[in-house]
Amino acid sequence: MPGKKICIVGSGNWGSVIAKIVGVNAHRLQYIDDRVTMYVYEEMIDGQKLTEIINTTHENVKYLPGHKLPPNVVAVPDLVEAAADADFLVFVVPHQFVRNLCNTLVGKIKPTAIAISLIKGFDIAEGGGIELISNVINRSLKVPVAVLMGANLAGEVAKENFCETTIGCADKKVSLALKEIFEADYFRVVCVEDVETVEICGALKNIVACAAGFCDGLQLGDNTKAAVIRLGLMEMVQFVKTFYANCKLATFLESCGVADLITTCYGGRNRMVSEAFVTTGKSIEDLEREKLNGQKLQGPITAHEVNYMLAARKMEDKFPLFTAVDQICKRKIEPKQLIELLKNHPVHQTAVLKAHL
Ligand SMILES: NC(=O)C1=CN([C@@H]2O[C@H](COP(=O)(O)OP(=O)(O)OC[C@H]3O[C@@H](n4cnc5c(N)ncnc54)[C@H](O)[C@@H]3O)[C@@H](O)[C@H]2O)C=CC1
Ligand SMILES: O=C(CO)COP(=O)(O)O
């Protein structure tokens, strides 16, 4: 019987690391086809196509230099060709691009395919709301969508340093298959059924990482940064409790929750660029271009998406950190005002604190 086929939709920093892990597993697992396709958004590097470089050197020299991909990972510049036969579609692109990619794939994938989203962010929904990225994929492609999120800075996973991740999947049988596809001895997978909380944690922690970066830029020290991270965590919890009533708070203790919040607030790109935003006075867009070599920030856009929804519901005062990050990124307020806005945070009022617990 032919093996199940896997397509990685994305080839950025994290996409390339995941292609490495999945490629090794596809080669090892008998029921998975050895050939893993990786959709690459084509670009020229020193006069040569990135796909050609990847397929000859087995290295994504732009987004993951210094690490080899297994030779069974094949870079494909045509999305439909890469995804057409896939039984498993792994979505791992910056979240602002997913809607277009899904539109391209409508009617072009196997109806029995299973998707998994590694994408951290939201989409804006018409009429003042947000939509989960897993929902965007499910709505356009009509296939079930699991999620994988965790404390997984790509550069460290590429070096095979031990870490954990969380798969959120409602179907236990599918969970087991996904665990086999993604797990490595240095990359331990825990599966939970609470898909929404896993995904929401992954998106919201990027906003908190921007706040942590502003603190670093302002040189406010470790106590202030810890307070900011804690208040950000409380807003993440409050957000889930307010808008996704069936979510479980226990999921925050998985890798996708507190652990990802910590790693991103200390070692992530959102933190780094936010610090530079304060110290250089340059715009987020300029810093993204200057410092990330084509990689994309998710935090400032996610802050915009969340505040679009909070503003429509007149709930910005209940989420002062999320709101301040959006306003700072848009230069409506100064970074140093973040702390003033947090001094009367709702969780500092006892009655509200109880409601958070
Ligand atoms: N890098 C990391 O450490 C981690 C990232 N993630 C998440 O994974 C997702 C993907 O992140 P990365 O792989 O790091 O991407 P990245 O930040 O390296 O983004 C660059 C990728 O975007 C592609 N791209 C640029 N313009 C495009 C367009 N118009 N259409 C389609 N693709 C385009 C580039 O070709 C490149 O593959 C994000 O949601 C991120 O939050 C999750 C865990 C760790
Ligand atoms: O999601 C991440 C780590 O788990 C990466 O965060 P950054 O996008 O801030 O680098």
Written as six digits, the tokens of 294 are 């084509």
Q: How far does the centroid of ligand 1 lie from the alpha carbon of residue 96, in Å?
A: 9
Place of tokens 């299973």: 114
**If you take atom 35 of ligand 1, which residue's CA is the nearest one?**
41
CB of 141 within 8 A of CB of 109? Answer: yes
Q: Please state the three-class secondary structure of 288-353 as a single string.
A: HHHHHCCCCCCHHHHHHHHHHHHHHCCCHHHCHHHHHHHHHHCCCCCCCHHHHHHCCCHHHCHHHH
pLDDT, position 304: 98
List the catalytic residue out of 205, 248, 318, 354.
205
pLDDT, position 146: 98
Q: How far does the centroid of ligand 2 lie from the alpha carbon of residue 352, in Å?
A: 30
Is 268 a pocket residue for ligand 2 (Cβ < 6 Å)? yes
SS3 at position 177: helix
Side-chain half-sphere exposure of 123, counting CA atoms within 13 A: 18
Predicted confidence pLDDT, tens digits, the chain (357 residues) = 689 999 999 999 999 999 999 999 999 999 999 999 999 999 999 999 999 999 999 999 999 999 999 999 999 999 999 999 999 999 999 999 999 999 999 999 999 999 999 999 999 998 899 999 999 999 999 999 999 999 999 999 999 999 999 999 999 999 999 999 999 999 999 999 999 999 999 999 999 999 999 999 999 999 999 999 999 999 999 999 999 999 999 999 999 999 999 999 999 999 999 999 999 999 999 999 999 999 999 999 999 999 999 999 999 999 999 999 999 999 999 999 999 999 999 999 865 556 555
What is the DSSP-derived secondary structure letter of residue 22? H
pLDDT, position 213: 98
Write down the ipTM of this complex.
0.99
Is 144 a pocket residue for ligand 1 (Cβ < 6 Å)? no
pLDDT, position 2: 80
Give the largest Cα separation in the chain, rounded. 64
The answer for residues whose C-beta is within 8 angstroms of residue 54's C-beta and 6 or more apart is: 11, 38, 40, 60, 61, 69, 73, 75
Is 95 a pocket residue for ligand 1 (Cβ < 6 Å)? yes
Nearest Cα neighbor of 127 from 312, 315, 316, 322 is 312
Task: Calculate the alpha carbon distances from 198 to 157, 179, 288, 303 in Å.
Answer: 19, 15, 26, 18
Query: What count of residues does the chain have?
Result: 357
Tell me if residue 62 is catalytic: no
Burial environment of residue 174 by CB neighbours within 10 A (0 to 12, 13 to 18, 19 or more): middle
Is 32 a pocket residue for ligand 2 (Cβ < 6 Å)? no
pTM greater than the 0.90 cutoff: yes
